[in-house]
């Protein structure tokens, strides 16, 4: 394919990173692979340092306290209502105004708390602006931190890996209790392991409160456990199934319904402390009283019942299973290289995964060094989040408010931490092509606001270098205004594809 | 940077995505009979609990199976009796009314040929019409439409989608257009044409995608005015007004397009959210709210179709059913057989079609699920054959490849 080494370098940098920051690509032409891999060698690769962000337990407790306060206010208001009906009417009126004000609910029904009747008390004091609920505040702070990491990254390979793994092990903010935990989940269970062992990431994920809540394991009871016998209740096999189907082995890899059921039994008792506990509420806990007693057979092995260690042993086995290696290898190649990645590449990645016992740095390295990663044509659509971050990075526009970004991702069908189902967002380019008209609308909005500050031709030269086509160059040169040029730049094939 | 608030709700983006598609022709055979049939397919993603939708209250094992979690005929929120064996969820008064008017029917203990329990594979088989998951990137509805012989050229192309992603069932060789309801300002015509020109020279696939969307926006502007994004949901976890509004708006708008003389004749919508592992709430909670929203969508289709309702068939399908028993968290896990719902003026309704397997311990499939006794493909083939006059050989080879042994169900149409 491409013979010019600069073309190959630019292809690689866009494929594994975000669109470059204003300095452009030029500094990295010499050794793009080394530049990409250097991001993984940094001791804090992928991590976010921000003391204001809460741990999962802290977020759960803060959200619990917030709900309690709201409840107390509601009760107090109700008592007041009896005494003063006129005041109640005023409160209702104010509440109506507050929730119909688009600025008060910038995310529409992405913020269920805002719509609840108990959102009214603050409005009753005729405060024009109402703070979003605690879970939403936490969600937005986390979104901000994540955006900043992506905007500030040198090339963004580490961050792209974070996004990949976060989608592989997705949780959803649309489940009420999970909303304040999504950011903590990514920081605690994904980021520390992108250049570490898959087994460690897997264990961190499956013991994280967000995942246990999202896939219903927190209340799954061993039918013969102390709690199960007392309550006459039993299993929920959701998490066990998705671990096998989505997180590790992959669908149709030979496990049976019996494996799902026995694995579900193995992980009974993997739950959280009730959030009302002031010290450790919302934290992961192994509750032996919920755990199904006895040995279990999962796939090809028997596992003695030694409490939480039983589940750890199953996960450790799954983490290095050849089917897991194949599954992860093909997803990685599909995400970064091609909708239909070359089989040879997938095989090499899988082999590397097995040979290194799931060392993700080694596997990522194999991927970046692969000749297929140089040669594959740029046919992948940038996913909405990648595209938005790329637009901001290349134009050097730093948003002061994260909410418009969150809204844009909603509109483009990739709402942050809110996938439609546990298999995450699609990695198929065709699926994202459907949102092209929405991208154009957003490009126009963006251009209207910022077009005068940006020189689209200069940005295109710096960002795409040798990848910039003559046609795009001409279209930008001929644009009737800078605004139009910016819209065309963001919509150019170079910015849409990678 | 600030973007104008778009007011897109998550329901628009996540709960539904659909497509209506139309080509420059109507089916020749049906038209020769003086008919102008419409077919709308609603895919419920996440696996609908058929036993909580249409309950076999007359089955001697029913009460033992579901206990107080099962629908019953007494008490508040009693199920609505369809016949001596079955009753429908009380959240579905529209469907019940149509059933009594013989314009709605239920097929029970039905399943696609898929026998595993992965949503994503199950949806793939359901929507592709191919028995091996992941083996086809086109859907049976698209191929069925593509295989029909056109009657004549009708000018104009009309279509829309709800949500940014077209469901697989509607993807394929016949061109699909789709539309997302939003309050976005459309791009200026000049920017659009420059962009299309650029794509033509550099990336025709992008050009095609944008062109179809653009053409759509113009129709949508004229046709769907007054469609406002759904308002916020009332209770987290339990779908509220937003979901109801979204289901009704997208289905109603689809119907209005299809009712037009030059509008699409075949369409598909998908609604997510049926994966009720915990706190299923058949009579009062989540599932009840979802079924209510679905019922509202059916009502909106009836209204939106207007006079065309008498030539309309709506079929509601899902990838598989759920466990017969309630699980440890008052929900149900992935199962096998479920229901398919049929509605429309063209349906020979007022009956539950079922080779009922029973719900005794011994009758359950793999001792856990409702046993499938009807192949969903037979139902769909029956609709395509008798409603659209699809060719039986094409149905067996192209639309549902390898399904020659699965005979189209007869007598579904009035």
pLDDT of B93-133, one tens digit each? Answer: 999 999 999 999 999 999 999 999 988 789 999 999 999 99
Spatial distance between the Cα atoms of B280 and B60, rounded to a whole number of angstroms: 23
Note the helical H segments in B264-346.
286-305
Contact B329 A233 (CB under 8 A): yes
pLDDT, position B12: 29
Residues B25-33 have a mean pLDDT of 65
Interface test with B, best of A67, A380, A394, A436 (most B CBs within 10 A): A436
Coil, strand or helix at B280: coil
Would you say residue A211 lies in a domain? no
With an 8 Å Cβ cutoff, are B198 and A488 in contact? yes
Is residue A146 one of the residues assigned to a domain? no
- Is A473 domain-assigned? yes
Q: Which residue has the tokens 């309690």?
A: A68
H or E segment to which residue A296 belongs: strand A296-298
Q: Which of residues 175-214 of B touch A (CB under 8 A)?
A: 178, 180, 182, 184-188, 190-192, 194-195, 197-199, 201-203, 205-206, 209-210, 213-214
Contact A410 B8 (CB under 8 A): yes
Residue B150 contacts A, CB cutoff 8 Å: no
Contact list, B333 vs chain A (CB under 8 Å):
236-238, 241
Confirm whether A198 is domain-assigned: no
Task: Report yes or no on A259 lying in a domain.
Answer: no
Higher-confidence residue of B51 and B22: namely B51
Q: Cα–Cα distance between A112 and A363 in angstroms, integer?
A: 40
pLDDT tens digits for range A182-231: 999 999 999 999 999 999 999 999 999 999 999 999 999 999 999 999 99
Q: What is the pLDDT of residues B273-301, one digit of tens each?
A: 898 888 899 998 889 999 999 999 999 99
pLDDT at site B158: 31
Task: Grade residue B228 by pLDDT with cuts at 50, 70 and 90.
Answer: very low
**Contact B374/A at CB under 8 A:** no
| Per-residue confidence (pLDDT) for residue A191, from 0 to 100 | 98
Q: Is B229 on the interface with A (CB under 8 A)?
A: yes
Instruction: Give residue-wise pLDDT tens across range B212-222.
Output: 765 554 444 43
Q: Which of A111, A137, A163 is the last residue of a domain?
A: A137
How much is the pLDDT for B269?
85
Examine the domain organization and report whether A76 and A108 are in the same domain: yes
- A133 and A85, same domain (yes or no): yes
* A173 belongs to a structural domain: no
Minimum Cα–Cα distance from B1: chain A residue: A399
Minimal Cβ distance to B165: which of A106, A252, A413? A413
Are A490 and A385 contained in the same domain? yes
| A63 plus A124 within the same structural domain | yes
Three-state SS at B161: strand
What is the tens place of the pLDDT at every residue in B323-345?
A: 999 999 999 999 999 999 999 99
Residue A475 has pLDDT above 90, yes or no: yes
- Identify the closest residue of chain A to B10 by CA–CA distance: A110
Domain count, chain A: 3
Which residues sit opposite B87 in a β-bridge?
B55, B81
Kindly determine whether residue A109 and residue B10, on different chains, have CB atoms separated by under 8 Å: yes
Q: Is the pLDDT of residue B9 over 50?
A: no
- pLDDT exceeds cutoff 80 at A426: yes
CA pair distance A165, A331, nearest whole angstrom: 10
Alpha-carbon distance B372 to B112, whole Å? 9
How many other CB atoms sit within 10 Å of the CB of residue A117? 12
- For A437, the closest of B117, B210, B275 (CB atoms) is B210
Q: Which of B13, B185, B242 is closest, CB to CB, to A415?
A: B13
Interhelix angle A32-41/A157-168, rounded to 10 degrees, is 60
A409 and A354 in one domain?
A: no
CB A296 within 8 A of CB A258: no
What pLDDT is attached to residue A186? Answer: 98
Q: Give the pairing type, strands B16-21 and B160-162.
A: antiparallel
Higher pLDDT, B172 or B251: B251
What count of other Cβ atoms lies within 10 Å of the Cβ of residue A53? 17
pLDDT at A101: 36
- A455 and A393 co-located in one domain: yes
B246: tokens are 């979204």
pLDDT at A476: 93
The domain boundary, picked from A137, A155, A172, lies at A137
Distance from C-alpha of B354 to C-alpha of B310, rounded to nearest angstrom? 25
A245 CB neighbours in chain B (<8 A) are: 118
What integer pLDDT is reported at residue B292 of this predicted model? 95
| Binary contact (B197, A237; C-beta < 8 A) | no
Task: State the CATH class of domain B10-181+224-399.
Answer: alpha beta
CB contact under 8 A, A434 and B5: no
Question: Would you tell me how many other CB atoms lie within 10 Å of the CB of residue B74?
Answer: 7
Residue A75 belongs to a domain: yes
Any A CB within 8 A of B361 CB: no
Contacts of residue B236 in chain A, CB cutoff 8 Å? 112-113, 176
- Confidence band for B137, pLDDT divided at 50, 70 and 90: confident
Helices marked H in B204-306: 204-223, 241-259, 286-305
Measured CA to CA, the distance from residue B397 to residue A393 in angstroms comes to 51
Asked if the model's pLDDT at residue B187 lies above 70, the reply is: no
Whether residues A340 and A442 fall in one domain: no
Q: What is the pLDDT of residues A296-313, one digit of tens each?
A: 999 999 999 999 999 999
| Residue A493 to residue B199, Cβ atoms within 8 A | yes
pLDDT tier, B149 (very low <50, low <70, confident <90, very high otherwise): low
Whether residue A282 lies within 8 A of chain B, CB to CB, comes out as no
pLDDT band at residue A246 under the 50/70/90 scheme: very high
Q: Does residue B176 have a pLDDT over 80?
A: no
Contacts of B127 in chain A (CB under 8 A): none
* Residues 30-69 (B) with a CB less than 8 A from some CB of A: 45-46
Nearest Cβ partner of A446 from B1, B5, B10? Answer: B1
**List of chain A residues whose C-beta atoms are within 8 Å of the C-beta of residue B171:** 430
Question: Cα distance from A10 to chain B (closest Cα, Å)?
Answer: 18
Q: At what angle do helices A322-336 and A360-369 cross, to 10 degrees?
A: 40
Which of B9, B10, B131 to probe by mutation at the A interface, max A CB count within 10 Å?
B10
- Is the domain of A492 the same as that of A385? yes
Asked if B8 is an interface residue toward chain A (Cβ–Cβ < 8 A), one would say yes
Mutate which of B7, B13, B181, B275 to disrupt the A interface (most A C-beta within 10 Å)?
B13
Size of interface A-B (CB pairs under 8 A): 230
Residue A287 has pLDDT above 50, yes or no: yes
Distance CA A60, CA A188 (A): 14
Which value, to the nearest 10 degrees, does the dihedral of the CA atoms of residues A477, A480, A486, A492 take?
-60
B11 at the A interface (CB within 8 A)? yes
Please report which confidence band the pLDDT of residue A3 belongs to, taking 50, 70 and 90 as the band edges. Answer: low
- Whole-number pLDDT of residue A79: 83
At residue A363, what are phi and psi to the nearest 5 degrees? -70, -45
Residue A370 and residue A388 in one domain: no
Q: Supply B198's token pair.
A: 């650029």
Query: Which B-chain residues 261-280 have CB contacts (< 8 A) with chain A?
Result: 272, 275, 277-278
Nearest to A434 among B178, B190, B197 (CB): B178
Instruction: Render the burial of A476-495: b for 16+ CB within 10 Å, e for the rest.
Output: beebeebbbbbbbbbbbbbb
- Out of A351, A375, A399, a domain closes at A375
> Using the beta-carbon criterion (under 8 Å), do B187 and A415 form an inter-chain contact?
no
Q: Is A175 on the interface with B (CB under 8 A)?
A: yes
pLDDT at A236: 97
Cα of A175 to nearest chain B Cα, Å: 6
d(CA A441, CA B185): 7
Q: Which phi and psi angles does B81 have, rounded to 5°?
A: -70, 130
Higher pLDDT, B160 or A134: A134
CA distance A258 to chain B (A): 11
Q: Which of A176, A434, A480 is nearest residue B209 as measured by Cβ atoms?
A: A434
> Which range among A128-137, A441-450, B388-397 has the greatest average pLDDT?
B388-397
pLDDT greater than 60 at residue B351: yes
Q: What is the arithmetic mean of pLDDT over A330-347?
A: 97
Specify the DSSP element, H or E, that contains A367.
Answer: helix A360-369
Please indicate, yes or no, whether residues A407 and A435 belong to a single structural domain of this protein.
yes
CB A436 within 8 A of CB A384: no
Please state the rounded mean pLDDT for residues B357-374.
97
State how far the Cα of A68 lies from the Cα of A66, in Å rounded to an integer: 5
List, as one string, the DSSP characters of A228-268: HHHHT-----HHHHHIIIIISS-TTSS--HHHHHHHHHHTT
CB-CB under 8 Å, B7 with A434: no
User: Which whole number is the average pLDDT over A368-383?
Assistant: 94
Asked if B327 lies within 8 A of A401 by C-beta distance, the reply is no
**Is the per-residue pLDDT at B146 higher than 60?**
yes
3-class state of residue A490 by DSSP: helix
Burial class, B224, CB count within 10 angstroms (exposed 0-12 / middle 13-18 / buried 19+) = middle
Please check whether residues A422 and A470 belong to one and the same domain: yes
Residue pLDDT, tens place only, A156-184: 999 999 999 999 999 999 998 999 999 99
b/e for B256-274, b at 16 or more Cβ within 10 A?
A: bbbbeeebbbbbbbbbbbb
Chain B residues 325-354 with CB within 8 Å of chain A? 327-329, 331, 333-334
Query: B177: pLDDT confidence band, cut at 50, 70 and 90?
Result: low
Nearest Cα to Cα of residue A438 among B17, B114, B365, B303: B17
Q: Are residues A459 and A363 in the same domain?
A: no
Domain that holds residue A350: 322-375
**Distance from A304 to chain B by nearest Cα, in Å?**
23
State whether A434 and B164 contact (CB < 8 Å): yes
Residue A77 lies in a domain: yes
């Amino acid at each position: 394919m491409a013979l010019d080494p600069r073309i190959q370098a630019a292809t690689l940098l866009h494929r594994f990173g975000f669109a470059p920051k204003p300095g452009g690509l030029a500094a990295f032409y010499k050794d793009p692979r080394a530049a990409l891999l250097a991001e993984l060698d940094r001791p804090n690769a992928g991590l976010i340092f921000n003391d204001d962000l809460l741990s999962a337990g802290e977020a759960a407790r803060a959200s619990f306290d917030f709900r309690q306060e709201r409840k107390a206010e509601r009760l107090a208001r109700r008592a007041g209502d009896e005494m003063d009906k006129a005041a109640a009417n005023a409160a209702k009126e104010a509440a109506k105004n507050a929730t119909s004000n688009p600025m008060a609910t910038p995310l529409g029904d992405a913020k269920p708390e805002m719509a609840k009747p108990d959102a009214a008390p603050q409005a009753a004091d005729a405060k024009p602006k109402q703070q979003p609920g605690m879970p939403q505040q936490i969600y937005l702070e986390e979104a901000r931190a994540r955006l900043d990491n992506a905007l500030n990254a040198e090339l963004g390979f580490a961050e792209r890996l974070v996004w990949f793994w976060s989608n592989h092990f997705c949780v959803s903010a649309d489940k009420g209790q999970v909303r304040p935990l999504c950011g903590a989940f990514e920081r605690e269970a994904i980021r520390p392991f992108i250049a570490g062992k898959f087994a460690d990431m897997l264990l961190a994920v499956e013991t994280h409160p967000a995942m246990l809540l999202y896939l219903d394991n927190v209340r799954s009871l061993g039918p013969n456990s102390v709690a199960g016998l007392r309550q006459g209740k039993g299993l929920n096999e959701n998490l066990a199934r998705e671990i096998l189907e989505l997180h590790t082995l992959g669908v149709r890899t030979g496990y049976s319904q019996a494996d799902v059921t026995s694995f579900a039994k193995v992980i009974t008792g993997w739950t959280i402390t009730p959030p009302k506990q002031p010290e450790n509420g919302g934290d992961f806990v192994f509750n032996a009283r919920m755990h199904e007693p006895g040995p279990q057979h999962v796939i090809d092995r028997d596992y003695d019942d030694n409490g939480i260690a039983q589940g750890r042993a199953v996960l450790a086995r799954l983490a290095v299973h050849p089917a897991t290696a194949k599954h992860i290898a093909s997803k990685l190649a599909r995400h970064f290289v091609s909708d239909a990645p070359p089989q040879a590449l997938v095989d090499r990645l899988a082999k590397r995964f097995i040979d290194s016992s799931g060392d993700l740095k080694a596997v990522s390295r194999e991927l970046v060094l692969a000749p297929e990663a140089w040669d594959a044509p740029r046919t992948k659509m940038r996913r909405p989040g990648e595209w938005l971050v790329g637009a901001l990075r290349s134009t050097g526009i730093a948003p002061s408010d994260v909410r418009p970004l969150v809204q844009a991702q909603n509109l483009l069908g990739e709402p942050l931490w809110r996938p439609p189902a546990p298999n995450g967002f699609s990695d198929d380019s065709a699926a994202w092509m459907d949102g092209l008209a929405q991208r154009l609308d957003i490009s126009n909005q963006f251009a209207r606001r910022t077009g005068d500050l940006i020189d689209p031709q200069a940005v295109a030269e710096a960002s795409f270098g040798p990848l910039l086509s003559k046609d795009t160059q001409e279209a930008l040169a001929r644009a009737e205004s800078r605004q139009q040029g910016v819209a065309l730049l963001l919509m150019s094939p170079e910015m849409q594809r990678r | 940077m600030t973007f104008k608030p778009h007011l897109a709700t998550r329901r628009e983006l996540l709960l539904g995505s659909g497509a209506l598609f139309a080509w420059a022709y109507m089916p020749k055979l049906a038209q020769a009979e003086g008919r102008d049939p419409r077919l709308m397919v609603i895919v419920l993603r996440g696996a609908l609990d058929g036993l909580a939708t249409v309950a076999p209250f007359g089955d001697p094992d029913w009460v033992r199976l579901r206990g107080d979690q099962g629908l019953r005929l007494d008490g508040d929120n009693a199920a609505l009796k369809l016949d001596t064996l079955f009753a429908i969820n009380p959240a579905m008064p529209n469907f019940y009314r149509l059933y009594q008017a013989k314009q709605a029917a239920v097929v029970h203990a039905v399943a696609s040929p898929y026998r595993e329990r992965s949503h994503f594979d199950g949806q793939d088989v359901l929507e592709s019409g191919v028995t091996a998951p992941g083996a086809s990137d086109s859907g049976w509805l698209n191929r069925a439409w593509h295989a029909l012989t056109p009657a004549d050229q009708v000018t104009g192309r009309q279509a829309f989608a709800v949500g940014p992603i077209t469901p697989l069932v509607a993807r394929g060789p016949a061109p699909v257009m789709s539309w997302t309801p939003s309050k976005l300002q459309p791009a200026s015509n000049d920017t659009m044409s420059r962009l299309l020109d650029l794509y033509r020279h550099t990336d025709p696939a992008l050009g095609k995608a944008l062109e179809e969307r653009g053409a759509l926006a113009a129709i949508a502007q004229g046709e769907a005015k007054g469609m406002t994004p759904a308002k916020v949901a009332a209770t987290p976890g339990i779908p509220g007004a937003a979901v109801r509004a979204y289901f009704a708006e997208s289905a109603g708008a689809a119907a209005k397009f299809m009712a037009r003389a030059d509008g699409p004749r075949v369409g598909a919508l998908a609604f997510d959210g049926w994966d009720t592992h915990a706190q299923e709430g058949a009579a009062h909670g989540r599932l009840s709210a979802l079924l209510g929203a679905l019922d509202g969508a059916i009502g909106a289709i009836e209204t939106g179709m207007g006079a065309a309702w008498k030539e309309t068939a709506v079929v509601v399908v899902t990838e598989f059913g759920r466990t017969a028993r309630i699980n440890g968290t008052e929900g149900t896990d992935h199962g096998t057989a479920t229901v398919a719902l049929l509605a429309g003026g063209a349906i020979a309704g007022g009956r539950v079609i079922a080779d009922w397997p029973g719900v005794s311990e011994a009758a359950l499939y793999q001792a856990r699920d409702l046993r499938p006794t009807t192949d969903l493909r037979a139902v769909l083939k029956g609709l395509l054959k008798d409603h659209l006059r699809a060719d039986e050989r094409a149905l067996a080879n192209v639309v549902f490849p390898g399904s020659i042994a699965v005979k189209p169900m007869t007598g579904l149409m009035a």
